[in-house]
Amino acid sequence: MSILLAIESSCDETAAAIISDGKLVVHHLSSQLDHAQYGGVVPELASRLHQQQIVKVVDACMKDADILPEQIQAIAVTQGPGLMGALWVGVSFAKAFAMARNIPLIGVNHLDAHVLSHFLADEKPEFPFLCLTVSGGHTQIIVVKDFHELEVLGDTLDDAAGEAFDKAAKMIGLPYPGGPLIDQLAKTGNSNRFSFPSPCMKDLNYSFSGLKTSLLYFLRDNQKNVGFREENLNDICASFQNAIVSGLLSNLNLAAKQTGINRLALAGGVSANTALRSQFTKMCDNQGYKGFIVPREYCTDNAAMIGIAGWYHWKAGKTSDLSLMPFARMGK
Ligand code: KG4
Ligand code: ZN
């Protein structure tokens, strides 16, 4: 039996997981709720909270899996992208653990891990497949050629899809993080009531700035109608969400046509969105694609995905040495 411990601390979730023989045994997560009062993640606060929680989440995993530290044979950790101070907490913990136990250390790219979360499931996608990765920091259409070869076909030119949800929620007057709240309110709203511009750009790229500005002007123009926002909250959320979801899927569909790849997957925090999941499934059924969606708990940040990505890196001999450094952005 080979056992790997995984750590995630790139943003506001402190998480750990144990993978044994390529299967998830257990994962734990401590969500930092303290950021809500500031309307967004405060980096310094995130680092401090990771420091407080990291040993607890690792202990909880080992206890639940009935595993002792000396049984762990490798440790995987998120190397980036993410908040630098937050990443350092996980990376320092993992380095110390690897050194103390003299076991391999594996640095994992957080975005690759979102994509590879599909390998936590029993039914794994065959290569190559297309993955739409939509999170708080990224919006990408990726060709996944194998575990270590991912090619970006489309990207956002400004905000990420999750960021657009969160910023829209703020404008509407909802607390942070707004994505899940918009999702909830949209369920009883009319998505065709108001019209917002598409985030699709030329090629397979996206831009969310026009959409954001259009919501800002829409809210401002209707300010004079007392109670407008409150009375139409569900329709505003549903219509705004529909612009994002339709745009995301329209480019994904185009990528499938252009590449001829008919296995499609969704990953990242925004892939927890109810409308995105149901419209993705509908599109796959209509177009004859094979669609892959991960359970909601593995869409948003977690260590199970770091563990499974780390597992495949480990088995391919892609380990790191103790000079491993976190990185804040891709390519940096
Ligand atoms: O992947 P993730 O947990 O963290 C990053 O790597 O960024 O994604 C977080 C993002 C946030 O912007 C959050 O608002 C969004 O995912 N999100 C959602 C939903 N759940 C999380 N957006 C829309 N609908 C949801 N149900
Ligand atoms: Zn993420």
Which residue, judged by its Cα, is nearest atom 2 of ligand 1?
269
What confidence tens digit (pLDDT) does each residue in 122-175 have?
999 999 999 999 999 999 999 999 999 999 999 999 999 999 999 999 999 999
Give the pLDDT score at 332. 44
Q: Reading across the β-sheet that carries 105-109, which strands appear in turn?
A: 23-31, 13-20, 3-8, 74-80, 105-109
Task: Determine the average pLDDT of the residues in 69-78.
Answer: 98
Nearest CA to ligand 1 atom 3: 300
Q: Can you tell me which atom of ligand 1 is nearest the CA of 178?
A: 14
pLDDT digits (tens, 9 = 90+) for 307-321: 999 999 999 999 999
Residues 208, 215, 167, 305, CA torsion sign: negative
Return mean pLDDT, the chain. Answer: 96
Q: Which ranges in 66-148 belong to alpha helices (H)?
A: 84-101, 110-116
State the distance from the centre of ligand 1 to the C-alpha of 99, rounded, in angstroms: 34
- The model's confidence at residue 331, banded by pLDDT at 50, 70 and 90, is low
| Most ligand 1 atoms within 8 A of CB, residue of 9, 165, 330 to mutate | 165
pTM of the model: 0.96
For the CA of 82, the closest atom of ligand 1 is 6
Residues with CB under 5 A from ligand 2 (ion): 135, 301
pLDDT at 216 over 90: yes
Radius of gyration of the chain measured on its C-alpha atoms: 20
Kindly give the residue spans of alpha helices, DSSP state H, lying in 31-101.
43-65, 84-101
The amino acid that residue 227 corresponds to is G
Pocket of ligand 1 (CB under 6 A): 11, 135-137, 162, 165-166, 177-180, 183, 268-270, 272-273, 300-301
Q: How far is the CA of 179 from the centre of ligand 1 (A)?
A: 6
Q: Are 60 and 95 in contact (CB under 8 A)?
A: no
8 Å CB contact between 166 and 177: yes
* Closest ligand 1 atom number to CA of residue 10: 6
Nearest one of 117, 141, 3, 110 to 328, comparing CA atoms = 110
